[in-house]
């Protein structure tokens, strides 16, 4: 049987695992793919660091991806360039592509999909979202007969590790980040993770698949976790909630202001401690899916790491190889629905607002009056610290019913300017994620 020849771009943690598994499980992979999978070459920037790969090594990535004896290109370099140019080149040359590159897919996925279509080859990227967790294939294929209403998940292990450890120990954000860095869960420059960009890329990919609509990273509202304090975690706990950085993709039915639309957003939110996502701790990932007929589903597992990511890459590689052997192609992207992306201001969620105010009679009434004036309905308001001698300051916590983002923002703007308000501690969204028993 003619082998399927694989070019590997990049040979870091994931790439080395891919090479190892291709070698160690060669017989099993060949049986499943219908042909042996052979490494044709490995393109790296510094070949001397990978001397054990011998003749397979090259620093000429462009040459490798267009070589006649290459059938499939596996890209695990990451980042936009040179990955984009190399993959477009590979697709143009009729090579199928397997990639784990969420940033590239979220920025320019449609261009890659079009190039794959033009050449009639496969473009697979299960490893780009939630590592080893089979998620994209279930969304695209298993749920193809259903209507997905919401995808909400913990898709970034670094931030989940930080928030879990703040929650477990009461640590500050800075201390928890330091611990994560020391243990290797956070990179030296953690911004892609803690500012939410990594999760936002994944949200764009998930929303595109779930709603058959092109959603790019630029369409995703993104807030990170730098501003989350130990006080926020404690406030969540007092409400029977935990704080998780969520990637939320939702379909919203048509209403008077908009046709049916989709929303994709990333922010830290309070969720009920009884929700299955609340129990997902440490560096694990989990994604909660709601579909009209299937109901609620959850997928859980390791979202990062060399071996888990390599498992997802190899699953795709076997699929691509099998398609090659049979002379076919896997299911394509589709963006037939082309739903508009809902502006963030029109989004309706619940909020937890915490304020430091002057400790005197009538302040609570002034504050709640401002919410009412902006049409934001209050579910609960609580004042603490009254008369306890802490320099005339009291803390007011307001939890709203579902309200429009724009109305809430306007309310908070006004509150911040009031004489009786010393400061706005935090504004956190509360997401009930479709659980019953949580008032809307």
Q: Which residues are catalytic?
A: 202
Q: What is the spatial distance between Cα 245 and Cα 431, in angstroms, rounded to a whole number? A: 11
Nearer to a second copy, 20 or 360 (CB): 20
Selected binder of a second copy within 60, 69, 141, 413 (CB under 8 A): 141
Interaction between residue 315 and a second copy (CB under 8 A): yes
Cβ count within 10 A of residue 418: 15
Cβ count within 10 A of residue 66: 17
- One character per residue 31-50, x = contact with a second copy (rule: CB under 8 A): xxx-----------------
Selected binder of a second copy within 50, 322, 402, 425 (CB under 8 A): 322
Interaction between residue 435 and a second copy (CB under 8 A): no
Nearer to a second copy, 107 or 260 (CB): 260
Burial (CB count <10 Å: 0-12, 13-18, 19+), residue 183: exposed
Selected binder of a second copy within 41, 190, 196, 308 (CB under 8 A): 308
What Å distances lie between residue 69 and 65, 248, 407, 424, CA to CA? 10, 42, 60, 62
Q: Torsions phi, psi of 18, nearest 5? A: -60, -45
Cβ count within 10 A of residue 334: 13
Q: Torsions phi, psi of 41, nearest 5? A: 180, 160
Strand partners, 354: 397, 426
Nearer to a second copy, 219 or 316 (CB): 316
Interaction between residue 146 and a second copy (CB under 8 A): yes
- One character per residue 160-199, x = contact with a second copy (rule: CB under 8 A): ----------------------------------------
Selected binder of a second copy within 1, 326, 361, 436 (CB under 8 A): 326
Q: What is the spatial distance between Cα 212 and Cα 62, in angstroms, rounded to a whole number? A: 32
Nearer to a second copy, 137 or 350 (CB): 137
* Shortest distance (Å) from residue 213 CB to a second copy: 12
Q: What is the spatial distance between Cα 59 and Cα 42, in angstroms, rounded to a whole number? A: 8
Q: Which residue has the tokens 């911004």?
A: 191
Interaction between residue 153 and a second copy (CB under 8 A): no
Burial profile 108-140: b = 16 or more Cβ within 10 angstroms, e = fewer: bbeebbebbeebebbbbbbbbbbbbbebbbbbb
Nearer to a second copy, 307 or 358 (CB): 307
- One character per residue 196-235, x = contact with a second copy (rule: CB under 8 A): ----------------x-----------------------
Interaction between residue 318 and a second copy (CB under 8 A): yes
DSSP state of 155: -
* Shortest distance (Å) from residue 19 CB to a second copy: 13
Interaction between residue 21 and a second copy (CB under 8 A): yes
Interaction between residue 1 and a second copy (CB under 8 A): no
In this structure, are residues 350 and 376 in contact, taking their beta carbons and an 8 Å threshold? Answer: no
- How does DSSP assign 232-270, residue by residue? HHHHHHHTTEEEEEEEEEEEE---SS-SSEEEEEEEEEE
Interaction between residue 307 and a second copy (CB under 8 A): yes
Interaction between residue 132 and a second copy (CB under 8 A): yes
Residues with Cβ within 8 Å of residue 371, at least 6 apart in sequence = 377, 378, 398, 400, 411
Nearer to a second copy, 126 or 219 (CB): 126
Interaction between residue 340 and a second copy (CB under 8 A): no
Distance of CA 350 to the CA centre of its chain: 21
Selected binder of a second copy within 78, 138, 343, 385 (CB under 8 A): 138
Selected binder of a second copy within 16, 137, 342, 350 (CB under 8 A): 137
Nearer to a second copy, 33 or 412 (CB): 33
Task: Choose the binding region for a second copy from 43-51, 180-188, 265-273, 298-306 (rule: CB under 8 A).
Answer: 298-306
Selected binder of a second copy within 9, 116, 313, 355 (CB under 8 A): 313
Biggest CA pair distance of the chain? 84
Which residues contact a second copy (rule: CB under 8 A)? Answer: 17, 21, 25, 28-29, 31-33, 126, 132-134, 137-138, 141-147, 212, 276, 279, 291-302, 305, 307-308, 310-319, 322, 326-329, 331, 334, 336-337
């Amino acid at each position: 049987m003619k082998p399927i020849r694989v070019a590997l771009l990049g040979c870091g943690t994931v790439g080395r695992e891919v090479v190892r598994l291709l070698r160690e499980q060669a017989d099993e992979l060949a049986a499943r793919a219908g042909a042996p999978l052979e490494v044709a070459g490995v393109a790296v920037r510094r070949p001397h660091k990978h001397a054990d790969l011998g003749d397979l090594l090259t620093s000429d990535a462009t040459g490798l991806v267009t070589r006649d004896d290459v059938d499939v290109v596996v890209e695990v370099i990451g980042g936009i360039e040179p990955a984009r140019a190399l993959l477009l080149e590979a697709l143009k040359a009729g090579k199928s592509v397997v990639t784990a590159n969420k940033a590239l897919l979220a920025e320019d996925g449609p261009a890659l999909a079009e190039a794959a279509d033009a050449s009639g080859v496969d473009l697979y990227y299960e490893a780009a979202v939630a590592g080893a967790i089979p998620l994209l294939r279930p969304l695209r294929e298993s749920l193809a007969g259903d209507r997905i209403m919401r995808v909400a998940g913990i898709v970034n292990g670094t931030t989940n590790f930080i928030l879990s450890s703040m929650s477990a120990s009461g640590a500050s954000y800075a201390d928890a980040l330091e611990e994560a860095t020391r243990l290797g869960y956070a990179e030296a420059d953690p911004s892609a993770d803690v500012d939410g960009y990594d999760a936002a890329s994944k949200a764009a990919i998930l929303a595109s698949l779930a709603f058959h609509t092109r959603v790019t990273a630029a369409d995703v509202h993104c807030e990170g976790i730098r501003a989350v304090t130990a006080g926020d975690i404690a406030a969540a706990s007092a409400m029977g909630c935990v704080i998780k950085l969520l990637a939320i993709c939702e379909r919203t039915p048509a209403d008077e202001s908009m046709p049916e639309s989709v929303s994709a957003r990333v922010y830290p939110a309070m969720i009920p401690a009884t929700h299955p996502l609340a129990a997902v701790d440490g560096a694990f990932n989990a994604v909660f899916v709601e579909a009209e007929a299937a109901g609620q589903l959850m997928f859980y597992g390791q979202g990062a790491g060399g071996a888990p990511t390599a498992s997802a890459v190899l699953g795709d590689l076997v699929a691509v190889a099998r398609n090659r052997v049979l002379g076919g192609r896997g299911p394509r992207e589709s963006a037939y629905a082309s739903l508009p992306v809902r502006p963030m201001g029109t989004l309706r969620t619940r909020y937890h607002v915490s304020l430091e105010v002057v400790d005197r009679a009538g302040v609570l009434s002034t504050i709640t009056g401002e919410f009412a004036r902006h049409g934001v309905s209050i579910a609960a308001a609580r004042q603490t610290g009254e008369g306890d001698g802490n320099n005339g300051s009291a803390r007011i916590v307001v939890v709203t019913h579902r309200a429009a983002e724009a109305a809430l923002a306007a309310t908070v703007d006004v509150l911040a300017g009031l004489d009786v308000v010393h400061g706005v501690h935090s504004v956190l969204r509360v997401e009930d994620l479709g659980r019953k028993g949580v008032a809307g």
